[in-house]
Every structure is written in C-alpha cells, then in structure tokens.
Structure 1
Amino acid sequence: MNDITAIPIPGLASSEVAVPAPAEGTQRWAGAPTAMLDPDGATLLTYRVRDAAGDRVVLARSDDGVRFETLTEMTSKALGVAMVERAALVRTATGWRLYHSCAEPGTKAWWIGLQESRDLAGLATASLRRLEMEGPLEAFKDPIVRHNGSDWQAWVCRHPLDIPGAEDRMSTIYATSDDGISWRNHGTILAARPGEWDARGARLTTVLPDGRACYDGRATPAENWLERTGLAVPTGTGAQLRALDGGPVADVRYLEVLALPSGGHRLYYEARRRDGAHELRTELHS
C-alpha cells in the first residue's frame, strides 16, 4: 500500500500539451483537470481556462487522450460567480452532474455549485445550485466527487477565512452523501505540516482506487499558484491520509490520474511555463 513506485508520477514519461495556455504571462492558465472514461472508451476532460476575458470551465472529448474537441463550456459570468476553478464531472443513472468551484463576488469565499443535465451539451445552460458543506468562516473549492451508483463521496479543499490576508491556507475534508446534494462533512483528512514543504496546506487532487492519493502543497503564502505535488497514503483510520516524507515529487499542480482498462494510467496536470502562463499537459504510463 505504501509503495510509492506504484503511484504514477509526472516526469517519468514523455509529456504532451493537451490544452495550450490561452496567452502569455501570469493568470493566463489552462489546467485544473478532471478526467473520466466514456463507455465507448473516449476520454472526457473537464478543465479551467483563465485569461483576459475571465474564467470558464470547458468540457472536452478525445479518442486518444491527447487531442480534445470542446463539447461545451460555462463561463464564470454566465454562472453568476466571480471566478471558477476545478470542476468535477459525474455520470448518474439519469444523466450528468457537474460540481463547480464558485467564488463569491466581492469576498474571499468559495462554495460548491451543482449543474445537472440529461446530456453533456445541456450543462451549458443548466441552472446552478449552491450546495452547503461549510461554516460561515470557511471556503470550499476544487472537489473530487465519486459515485458508485448508490453512495457518494467527496474530497474538497477547505480554506479558512478567520484571518484576513491568510485565506490561502488549505486542507482537505472528506464528505459523504446519499444523493450527492446534501452532504455530511466528516472533517479534515489531510492538513498542513508545520516546518515542511507543505506547511501552508494540502489540497487533494486525485484519489486512486486503493486509497493512495496525490495532493498540492506549498510552504509560504508567496507560493500561492506555485503548488507542487506530494503523495499521501491511508492511515487505516477512516478516510484519514498521511503525507509521505521526502518532499514533493513533481513541480506541477492539480495532478489527475486516470486509470485505464489496460492497467496503465494517463496523467493530466497543470504545468508552469517560463513566462508565467500555465498549460495542461498529459503523460501516458503503461
């Protein structure tokens, strides 16, 4: 269970650009991916783009996992929020759900929003429903959502808002639900480690079937948007995770690991360029 060599790590295979940066410079980003396989074997990818026009969440499809065709997109303006970040796409018995990261205009608050549609194209015009997981001094974003046909699980990044100017701090909570709408927050399962490279917090980005996980961490407020990837393993107590020692394993953020029917994995992650822009890259690990 603790064999980190079995966890796919960025940089151990050649990478390709799946979605280029929208422009040069800082805050010009393509990334924050989530991926799943369609029944026909195609890859469905959800990612965030940030540029001069604002934020948008894009849904795209690919037959080879590298070259994507846009199916639909949702802008932050159309959703009525200030910004969007990572979203989670889930297939249900009656259609699709898209769980959004939504920034409250004029505040540091974030909340999880839900769109539902019978088909993927319909998500673009579906109404946005606000879900409650937090208290008055907490912001929640960047969800990982799993549905096995009956039960629902979510791992969500929590940002405390109790100290003005320190909202960049982060940890990960675990939540469960009977319907994917009303959630039970079971508390923090992965948190900052004082004095370590992830002293400012830990944001879970992918959970493998056996419970091992990858997360984003950073040491200081100045490293906001410069997160790196670390590894975590189950502790054997509930949903709790333990960060592995040894520092970050890759200088990327929002790592998504998609298990393939062949037994291999395809990785998607947000990578920084020298000009400050971020691009979405992919690697195939057989």
Structure 2
Amino acid sequence: MSRLHPTGVPLPDGIASTVVASRAGAPSALVRDGAVHLAYRDHRAAATVVARSEDGVRVEVVAEIRAPATAGRAALVVTPPGRWRLYLDAGARVELLEADSPEGIGTASPATVLEGAGSPVVQSHGGVWHLWAAVGGDTVRYASPDGLVWAGQEVALAAGRISSVVDLGDRLVATYDDGEHTAVAVPGDGFGRFRPVDEVPAAPGLRHLAVLALPGGSYQLYYEATGPDGVPEIRTEVAPAS
C-alpha cells in the first residue's frame, strides 16, 4: 500500500500497483474535466504520447509526438485560459507544443524554449511559471511570466533529477531520481530550491515518480518500474488522503 513519507509526500510501495502501459516510462500527469491526462515515453512507438484516462488506469492515446530515443520525461500542463502545453524533452533541449486540446498537440509545431536541458517539470505558482529541468546530473530551475521565455537559471537540486514537485500547502516538496531510485527533497535556500532529506532511497527500484493531487485530498501516483520481462512499464497506485 502507498505510504506517507515523513515530509507528507505520498510514496508508492511498488507492490499494490496496476500496470498502465508496458514498454513505457517517464510519466507526467494532470487532472482536467474529470479525467486524468498523461504524457509518457512509448518505447514501442519511439515517441512521446499524450493519453486520456477516465479511471486513472485504462488509457487511450490521443496524440503521438516523435522524439529521439534519448528523450526523457515531458511535462503536460494547461494554462489558465485553457490552452494545452507539452514541454517535450527533445534531446538536450526542451521544445514546446501548444494546442486547444490534447489531441491537437500531436499536430502542433514545436518551438525550442530551452537549450541544454531536459526532463522538465512545469508548474505555476503565484502567477509565475517555474520549470525544473535536468542539466547534467543536477536539476536547474527557471522562471517565466508566460511559460514561453525562461530566465533566472539556478541549481535547484544538486546530484538529482526532480521528477515531481508537490504542493503541500505551506511548502513545496520534491521527489527526484538519484540514478535508479526515487528519493525525497525538502525546501532549501530560496523558493523552488531543494535539499535531499533521505540517506537511503525512499522508493527503491522506482523511477520518474509523478504525484497527482486528486479532488478530495487523495493522490494518484504514476511511476516507472521494471516489469517481470525486464522492460520498463508505467504503474499506478492511489494514496489515500492523510
């Protein structure tokens, strides 16, 4: 069963889980109009896909974007006016695709918004957009008034790649990959900066954890794990409200 880390972040146990997609990984997720929407790497199609799920488990792919085999996680967001954006790891750069619907992302024209970065996590706080991206083995944070032009590069987490930033109301807490596992980082010096809290991995063997807050206070967790056949798969668990 999922559990709460002492920081308040829900974590999966990798046992009480359901497979969402096989030969796939690096998920991100959001809730919109009562449905879960996911972006993840589909290794069969050699693409990043956008998918919709009415129950959080069974997915329907609605858009497919070709991306290099080295591409990492993409970030799927919806702007306040209702525009859909996919921040795509295109291999050593982040590209933006924007459309009126998730289906439209598949035919949108990409625009490069960051060079030398990948696996973005994108959120809006206080009217400012924040993007955490992998640069080498670190995570770097950028800020933007519109999510299009990014500035203010600073190291947000050294020696770790952030996979999810969780808003707990009074603070932000991050989950990150240390290479092969998921670990937790607490607020550091300055907004959007973090420091590791665990001496050991919080979720051994699990990678690319996406923590999705649901109405009512519970969480849907999506992450990448290695299946019994040795290939990556996306799994999900529900964490009850604390």
TM-score, normalised to structure 2, is: 0.89
Distance 2:15 2:239 in 1: 7
Determine if contact 1:49/1:58 at 8 Å carries over to the other structure: yes
Identity between Structure 1 and Structure 2 (%): 39
Q: For residues 120-157 of structure 1, give each alpha carbon's deviation from its aligned partner in whole angstroms, at most 9, with x where no partner exists.
A: 2211111111113x5xxxx3100001135842111111
| Aligned-residue offset at 1:17 | 0.3
Match of 1:268 among 213, 222, 230: 222
Match of 1:7 among 9, 20, 31: 9
Which residue of 2 is the match for residue 281 of structure 1? 235
| Aligned-residue offset at 1:189 | 1.4
The 1:278/1:102 distance shift into structure 2, 3 A limit, reads same
- Kindly tell me the number of residue pairs found equivalent between the two proteins: 232
Which residue of 1 is the match for residue 71 of structure 2? 84
Structure 2 residue runs of 5 or longer lacking an equivalent are none
| Aligned-residue offset at 1:239 | 2.6
Matched, 1:240 2:218: no
Q: Is the partner of 1:212 in helix, strand or coil?
A: strand
Determine if contact 2:14/2:206 at 8 Å carries over to the other structure: no
Match of 1:120 among 102, 125, 128: 102
Match of 1:70 among 61, 68, 74: 61
The 1:48/1:203 distance shift into structure 2, 3 A limit, reads same
The 1:262/1:13 distance shift into structure 2, 3 A limit, reads farther
| Aligned-residue offset at 1:60 | 0.9
Q: Is the partner of 2:104 in helix, strand or coil?
A: helix
Alignment of 1:201-220 (within 5 A): 202-209=160-167, 210-218=171-179
Matched, 1:36 2:43: no
Which residue of 2 is the match for residue 143 of structure 1? 120
Distance 1:82 1:185 in 2: 29
Q: For residues 235-270 of structure 1, give each alpha carbon's deviation from its aligned partner in whole angstroms, at most 9, with x where no partner exists.
A: 253332110133101111000000111111110000
Q: Is the partner of 1:233 in helix, strand or coil?
A: strand
Considering only CA atoms, is the larger Rg found in Structure 1 or Structure 2? 1
Q: Is the partner of 1:84 in helix, strand or coil?
A: coil
| Aligned-residue offset at 1:284 | 0.6
Please, what is the CA RMSD of the aligned residues? 2.0
Alignment of 1:132-211 (within 5 A): 132=114, 134=115, 139-147=116-124, 150-159=127-136, 170-192=137-159, 202-209=160-167, 210-211=171-172
